[in-house]
Amino acid sequence: MRKVELSYSLSAHGGGRTAHPVLLRNAMMDVLHAVREHGSISAAARQLGLSYRHVWGQLKAWETELGQELIVWERGQAAMLSPFGQRLLMAERLAQARLGPQMEHLRAELERAFSRAFEPPSSGSEVLTLYASHDHALTELQDLAAGMDTQGTSASSRLHLDIRFCGSVDAIRALNEGRCLLAGFHTQPFADAASLSARTYRPLLKPGTHKIIGFARRTQGLMVAPGNPLGLRDMADVAGLRARFVNRARGTGTRLLLEELMAQAQLHPADIHGFEHVESSHAAVAQAVASGDADVGLGTEYATRDQGLGFVPLTEERYLLVCLKSALDTPGVQRLLELMRSPRWHARLDALPGYASDHSGEVAAMKRLLPWWR
């Protein structure tokens, strides 16, 4: 068993998230990824801002340490990862995708701790705890709320979102158990009143206790290899072609969506090859498809595009927040609502692949944003 040591860096200014975020950086994996992407050690060195000699020396040192060849290269030929190098990179990227929600929470906790250390004691910044189904737009909102990637944000206006990612059902249960003031979940807005989503969420939502807050609209569909080599169009194709499927865990909104799509197509778990193959997040499903461990999975367009995969849209859904009615007038919730209603947030949300603003920051009755509500 190889030892792993974790580290992090602290910078003076928040520069926002990169297009393809890696929450835990490793120099060797960065080099392997760059070589695979560019097919050249010199091009990889330029991308990383390092000298060719430095990268070459690192590669040789790592190969000696691991006792395995990482790069296959001959003069005049493109550099490629060895089979071992490819497996190593894919294993590390899959582990990062699986741990993404936990690492995002850890990163946010560290950023919040350091932010409060730099703020004066009387800054008046708020901390708001939110249990929610994993969603990239929430991470973007978290950054914006904390004053990251913005200009002229005063400490007194900052809001620290303490997001605990979990399944949609578990998030609402956490709200009902008093572990948070807000919960985030997603559902098809025009599902039938007798649908699985309606039957699952209706007992958890309490009109006298809860208020629904609009957040975003996003697209879910099939994550497939680039070019969709199997020609998959829907879950019936997935079953009929015996495509290797990767699923999400029970209690997640995406698992509910899958079961609804299967019911519509009159499919059973036994019809789906790989129904029991479960990953913990949209990013982990995308990575499983990208690495060749699966042919297809169900997930968000954002996670699919971020991994460079093909995408077959199946449905649009609403991502909503549920708030305790008694907490609506608290400073933290009011600050969050103000931010979600702002043109700055709408522009940022609409720029994300597969997302669109949809009643963002609007406090509404259940039946307005959940038409299946009765």
| 76 Cβ contact list (under 8 Å, min separation 6) | none
Crossing angle of the two packed helices 52-66 and 27-38, in degrees rounded to 10: 120
Q: What is the pTM of this model?
A: 0.75
Does residue 74 carry a pLDDT above 80?
Answer: no
Specify the higher pLDDT residue, 45 or 116: 45
Question: What is the mean predicted confidence (pLDDT) over 186-208?
Answer: 89
Output the CATH code of domain 27-92. Answer: 1.10.10.10
Output the CATH code of domain 128-151+158-369. Answer: 3.40.190.290
Which phi and psi (to 5°) does residue 305 adopt? -65, -35
Residue ranges per domain, the chain? Answer: 27-92, 128-151+158-369
Tell me if 53 sits within 8 A of 45, measured CB to CB.
Answer: no
Same CATH topology for 27-92 and 128-151+158-369?
A: no
Question: What is the mean predicted confidence (pLDDT) over 123-139?
Answer: 86
Question: What is the mean predicted confidence (pLDDT) over 253-257?
Answer: 93
Does residue 104 carry a pLDDT above 80?
Answer: no
What does the pLDDT read at residue 12? 58
